[in-house]
Amino acid sequence: MPPLQDLEQVLKQAERQRLKALATPAKIQAFLDRIPYSTERVYRCPLRVLRERTAHCFDGAVFAAAALRRLGYPPLLLEMVPNQRDDDHLLALFKRKGHWGAVAKSNFANLRFREPVYRTLRELVMSYFEQFYNVEREKTLRAYSLPLNLKVFDPWNWTTSDDSLEDIARRLDEIRKVPLLKRSMISGLSPVDARSYRSGLLGADQAGLFKPDRRDR
């Protein structure tokens, strides 16, 4: 097991100031919004996200969890689980005055920040339901995971090393999932209208979009 290493211990002065400026959940979100969406199939730890200034959904959520921890929040991740015709999505959770909010990096405009106004995790996740769709305009969100506290990965230096990121992803897949819809609800879902579809893809990097196999309908 490697020696414990704190993120701020390895930062250069300019990087430390950049991280210090992320003094609210909204400012963490703004940082993620400014950096490009990564289309690479690699995971980046928070240190690499800060230095390379690029991230996809997984990288962004892990970075946000580390940044939220600096503000006194536990580093919590939640996985939103779609059907097999879409990609999953991660949220970094925070709770203020008994209500849940989220920070997220997404290629879709409407799958990012949520204010801490949701009484339960189900309420929070359902706020994403109408905007969680694939390029075939299918609403695909089906379940969500119980929160994962990244504190358990501290011995593997998840904030400064990529070594434990695959284990984090695997653990998220293993955690118990909470279903959102009954089968009768799924069969009656309508396609996303053209205007909503266009709004969600505003600014998206086409190379990073999940392409479902039309034979799997």
pLDDT in tens, 26-52: 999 999 999 999 999 999 999 999 999
Contacts of 120 (CB under 8 A, 6+ apart): 100
pLDDT in tens, 109-157: 999 999 999 999 999 999 999 999 999 999 999 999 999 999 999 999 9
The whole domain housing 29 covers: 7-203
Residue 192 lies in a domain: yes
Residue 127 lies in a domain: yes
pLDDT of residue 138: 97
- Alpha-carbon gap, residue 133 to 139, rounded angstroms: 4
Tokens of 26: 């909204």
pLDDT in tens, 183-195: 999 999 999 999 9
Q: How many domains does the chain have?
A: 1
- Alpha-carbon gap, residue 51 to 12, rounded angstroms: 10
Contacts of 113 (CB under 8 A, 6+ apart): 25, 26, 29, 101, 102, 103, 104
Q: Give the pLDDT band (50/70/90) at residue 215.
A: low
Cα-based distances in Å from 45 to 49, 52, 99, 109, 188:
6, 10, 28, 23, 40
In this structure, are residues 68 and 25 in contact, taking their beta carbons and an 8 Å threshold?
yes
Residue 132 lies in a domain: yes
- Please name the amino acid found at residue 32: L
Radius of gyration of the chain (CA): 17
Give 5 or 217, the one with higher predicted confidence. 5
Cα-based distances in Å from 99 to 93, 117, 199:
10, 5, 27
Bridge partners of residue 90, in order along the sequence: 79
Residue 214 lies in a domain: no
pLDDT of residue 1: 63
Q: Give the pLDDT band (50/70/90) at residue 216.
A: low
Bridge partners of residue 101, in order along the sequence: 94
pLDDT of residue 121: 98
- Alpha-carbon gap, residue 100 to 74, rounded angstroms: 12
Average pLDDT over residues 56-61: 98
Residue 212 lies in a domain: no
Q: Nearest-5° angle of CA 193, CA 199, CA 205?
A: 120
- Alpha-carbon gap, residue 74 to 66, rounded angstroms: 9
CATH number at residue 191: 3.10.620
Residue 209 lies in a domain: no
| The model's pTM | 0.95
Tokens of 56: 């996809």
Residue 136 lies in a domain: yes
Please name which of 110, 126, 108, 133 lies closest in space to residue 193, comparing C-alpha atoms.
133
Residue 190 lies in a domain: yes
Average pLDDT over residues 80-107: 98
Residue for token pair 């989220």: 102
